[in-house]
Amino acid sequence: MAVLKICRYGEPVLRQRTKPAEYGEIAGRLPELLRDMWDTCAAANGVGLAANQIGLPLRLAVIALPVGKDQVRRFVLLNPKIVGKAGLMEEDEGCLSFPGFFAPTKRYAEVKVRAQDEEGRHYELSARGLLAKALQHEIDHLDGKLLIDRVAPVDKSQVKDHLKEVVRSWDKPQSNKAGQKQNGKA
């Protein structure tokens, strides 16, 4: 069990498209990696976390969707792909790689995703609302796209100064060692 360093805006790994993962090649290390990702996501009060946010260019993400008081529904997304989408919504959105930064973001209101679970089984998931937003957000990470790429052009000029302030408030950037472990919150 470990809380891992979360890569922040500006670290190159966040802009890299992740590589598909062969389940058989990662099955042995997947349980520990998933535990670390769940711990890291929870410690940062996040809804989701993509592997490249912890420095691993692996097509893997986790989502912990709040479903009640102190309860979450967990999703493992190995090699996820959006295969259907409908409607639009716009809401403020944040990101663990942009601590303290929120911006209005346009997303599809409904999505259908194909992925594999922690045992390598293929599945499809249809989602609306927060889960749809989280799925799109994490898949964007895996494709090298960031929250700021989804902000409407009109809003980008309004949030630019705020983003600069948020970035200035962060500690000095840490090294980008893949899967570097740290004690405490990211």
Decide if pLDDT at 173 tops 90. no
Report the CATH number at residue 7: 3.90.45.10
Residue 149 within a domain: yes
Decide if pLDDT at 46 tops 90. yes
Cβ-based neighbour number of residue 160 at 10 Å: 12
Residue 57 within a domain: yes
Residue 179 within a domain: no
Secondary structure E strands in the chain: 3-4, 48-50, 60-68, 71-86, 89-94, 102-107, 110-116, 122-128, 181-182
Share of the chain above pLDDT 70, in %: 84
Residue 182 within a domain: no
Residue 183 within a domain: no
* Mean of pLDDT over the chain: 88
Q: What is the pLDDT of residue 154?
A: 57
**Count of domains in the chain?**
1
Q: Provide the domain limits for residue 158.
A: 3-171
Catalytic site residue 138?
yes
Residue 18 within a domain: yes
Residue 51 within a domain: yes
CA geometry: angle 47, 136, 185, nearest 5 deg:
30
Residue 180 within a domain: no
Catalytic residue among 11, 93, 118, 138: 138
